[in-house]
Structure 1
Amino acid sequence: MHDDVIDIRLLEAFAAVMSAGSITGAARLLGRSQPVVTRQIQDLETDVGYLLFSRNGPRISPTPKGILFHAEVERLLAGLKHIRQRAAAIGAGALPVLSLAAIPALSAGFVPAALAAMDQKLLPRQIHVQALAAENVAQSVLAQAVDFGLASLPVQYPGLDIHWVCEVPCVACLAADHPLAKRRVIRLKDLGGRRLLTMANPYRLRRRVEDALERAGVMPAEVIDTNSSLTAIALAKQSLGVAIVEPVLSASLAVDGVVTRRLDVAIPFLFAAISPAGRELTPTVAALNDALRAAVALMRGAVLHDGAAAPRELGSDADEFERACS
């Protein structure tokens, strides 16, 4: 790859082709001619030193390297858009643009309520809310691409300020007509031989669920995993199994035909409010932080820990954090 800066027009062409799925579609999106977009993609491939697309006649598809590169380009283009908006806000003497990232359950569950609870005079004209995987939330905060983040544990602590950590027990979600729905508390041993709906990431909540089942001597008959608790709840609604999920969405977004039940064993779900280290919170971000903390505290069984209690390096299990806070 060359040492000079890549032409932004080449990156725009690449992003447009990825979105449209074709050179022709990208040309329409950009208002450029098809030959121009074709040449720009070729120039970008020459610049980075590898193929971004595989060609099969007029049809193209992204290469594995092209897919990875696209994630970087998306972040860059979004950042440039935010810079333009921030520059406009500065010029107009308006409140700076607010940008935050959170895992999907929290972005849908608590962020809307927190924004609504804030003094509306503190809300800028432009607000960006991104729903990302926990790892990407932490990366966005570390890169200062966003002002504030909510990420499930573990997160990479160096370079981050931890404002607070919330610990809350997981719940079971199941169809209203499920045989276990009549019980007020679902015992883990009742899940033996049944289909379990759970998270896919083996290093976060999934591992805690599996550890709890192993300690209880429970073996599900089948498992459907997903990267979204909302999807797990939707699967439960269709009587496809019992979902063990964090309680955020079930507490904030009622789903018809689905009931939520406590578990007889506490399976902790932990998440943290984070911002770039050493960066003072603006009045808007500080108010958002307060509103989020107040909304989170209303969850049944929620325990809030001061961010100062969090060890600088946190392992992948909840036990280490609990020991640090005890």
Structure 2
Amino acid sequence: MLTLRQVEVVRAIMVSGSIAGAARHLNVSQPGISRLMKHLETSLGIRLFVRRGGRYVPAEEARAVFEQINDVHRKIDDLQLAIDRLARGKDVGLQFGSVPSIANVMVPRAVVAMQKRYPDLRLNIDIIKIEEAVDYLMLARGEVALMSYRLDHPSLVFEPLATGKLVFITAPDHEAARMPSISVAQIARYPLIGIDPNDPYGRIMVSLFERHGFEYNIPIRARFGTTVMSLVERNAGVAVIDTFSVADIGSGRLAVIPIEEETSFQTYFATRRDSSISSFAGSLIQELKKSMTSSPALDPQH
């Protein structure tokens, strides 16, 4: 039985018509090619080539062998083409879901990196609520769900993505805008926009307010960070929001102020326990981790 390497050498001699040409084509030494051919012809018990006019041409008795070798080589070329197409993401897609706080800034950063790595990959990004994650994954609407909170479900696996913090945001001309940091006691002086107390981030603030004996007063509630930031920018109030949502916010739009108390939280990516994720989903997770752990907004004084 011929090995793929032997097939490669035989075809190189066929194409080039010489041992020297085959050696150059394969970037190996001529003696190596000669030894392989002698060993191969001895093993097969037939001649594969004859010399004619100073060139190696296929022996008449080996014509059928060469036809098969050409077929094998064409299939190898087809295989390599398929691998190359897959490496570029050609004719394949990745569908995943994300909660808004991760989707607003971090997902676009990761997608740009994915486009460079897989320029032909089709991406379908679904914005989901936390309570929609179970159905989203169990009904196979997407491979991965990017979450700001870990749910308990026997059929889902949650893996850590990145750690974030909450920050206080105001309009640039607000009286608190130049504060180097702010405490819960100082935040409690202002009516807040968002965050719903039942939201994972809201629960952190409710706990802090209760621990310090303050009422968590949110006269304006807005579920999505983009809406919260737009309201704050227009001086409709102040807010507490996650660092990932404000990662691309310039100082001209909002003042981002560190909160003195501990507000760290963990984000996750969730998958079905009974399935493995594709290499494309794995690359997405890698890019997200890089972006989310290196984001300037993790230092809120940015």
Q: How far apart are residue 220 of structure 1 and its match?
A: 5.5
Q: Of residues 237, 241, 246 in structure 1, which corresponds to 2:237?
A: 241
What is the CA distance between 1:264 and its match in structure 2?
0.8
What residue is the counterpart of 1:158 in the other structure? 154
Kindly report which structure 2 residues correspond to 1:103-114, keeping only aligned pairs within 5 A, or say none: 103-114=99-110
Give 1:116 deviation, angstroms. Answer: 1.2
CA distance in 2, matches of 1:281, 1:197: 38
CA RMSD, 1 decimal: 2.5
1:182-203: CA deviations, max 9, x gaps? 1110111112332112222515
Q: 1:226 aligns with which of 222, 234, 240?
A: 222
Give the corresponding residue for 2:41: none
Verify the 8 A CA contact 2:169 2:239 in the aligned structure 1. yes
What displacement does 1:117 show? 1.5
**TM score, norm. by length of structure 1:** 0.59
Runs of at least 5 residues in structure 1 that lack an aligned partner in the other structure: 1-88, 303-326
Residue in structure 2 matching 1:207, options 203, 210, 215: 203
- Secondary structure (helix, strand or coil) at the match of 2:236 reads coil
Q: How does 1:120-135 map to 2 (within 5 A)?
A: 120-122=116-118, 124-135=120-131
Any idea what SS the aligned residue of 1:226 has? coil
In structure 2, do the counterparts of structure 1 residues 111 and 221 end up closer, same or farther at CA, with 3 Å as the change threshold? Answer: closer
Paired AA for residue 132 in structure 1:
I
Q: How far did residue 301 of structure 1 move?
A: 8.3
The within-5 A match list for 1:31-46 is none
Judge which range, 160-169 or 186-195, deviates more: 160-169
Q: Secondary structure at the match of 1:224?
A: coil
Note the alpha carbon deviations across 1:142-162, whole angstroms, 9 max, x for none. 222101110111323422222
| Aligned position for 1:280 | 276
The answer to whether 1:100 aligns with 2:96 is yes
Indicate how the Cα distance of structure 1 residues 163 and 282 shifts in structure 2: closer, same or farther if over 3 A, else same.
same
1:265 paired residue number: 261
Alignment size in residue pairs: 212
Instruction: Identify unmatched segments of 5+ residues in structure 2.
Output: 1-84
Residue of 193, 200, 223 corresponding to 1:197: 193
Q: Secondary structure at the match of 1:293?
A: helix
Cα pair 1:194 1:220 within 8 Å, conserved: no
Aligned to 2:184, which of 169, 188, 203? 188
State which of 269, 276, 287 in structure 2 corresponds to 1:291. Answer: 287
CA–CA separation in structure 1 for the residues paired with 2:288 and 2:280 = 12
- Separation (CA, whole Å) in 2 of partners of 1:222 and 1:160: 33
Cα deviations across residues 82-123 of structure 1 (Å, max 9, x unaligned)?
xxxxxxx99xx9442210110112112111111211363535
For the residue of structure 1 that corresponds to 2:193, the secondary structure is strand
Kindly indicate whether the alpha-carbon contact (under 8 Å) linking 1:123 and 1:284 is maintained by their aligned counterparts in 2.
no
TM alignment of 1:58-97, pairs within 5 A: 94-97=90-93
Identity of aligned residues (%): 16
- DSSP 3-state at the match of 1:266: coil
User: Is residue 195–residue 222 contact of structure 2 (8 Å, CA) maintained in 1?
Assistant: yes
1:9-61 superposed Cα distances (whole Å, 9 cap, x missing partner): xxxxxxxxxxxxxxxxxxxxxxxxxxxxxxxxxxxxxxxxxxxxxxxxxxxxx
Q: Following the alignment from structure 1 to structure 2, what is the Cα–Cα distance between the partners of residues 121 and 154?
A: 30
TM-score by length of 2: 0.63
Q: Which residue of 1 aligns with 2:145?
A: 149
When residues 236 and 203 of structure 1 are mapped into structure 2, their CA distance, relative to the original with a 3 A threshold, is closer
Structure 1 residues 277, 122: CA separation in 2 closer, same or farther (over 3 Å shift)? farther
- 1:281 is matched by which residue type in structure 2? I
Larger of the two Rg values belongs to structure: 2
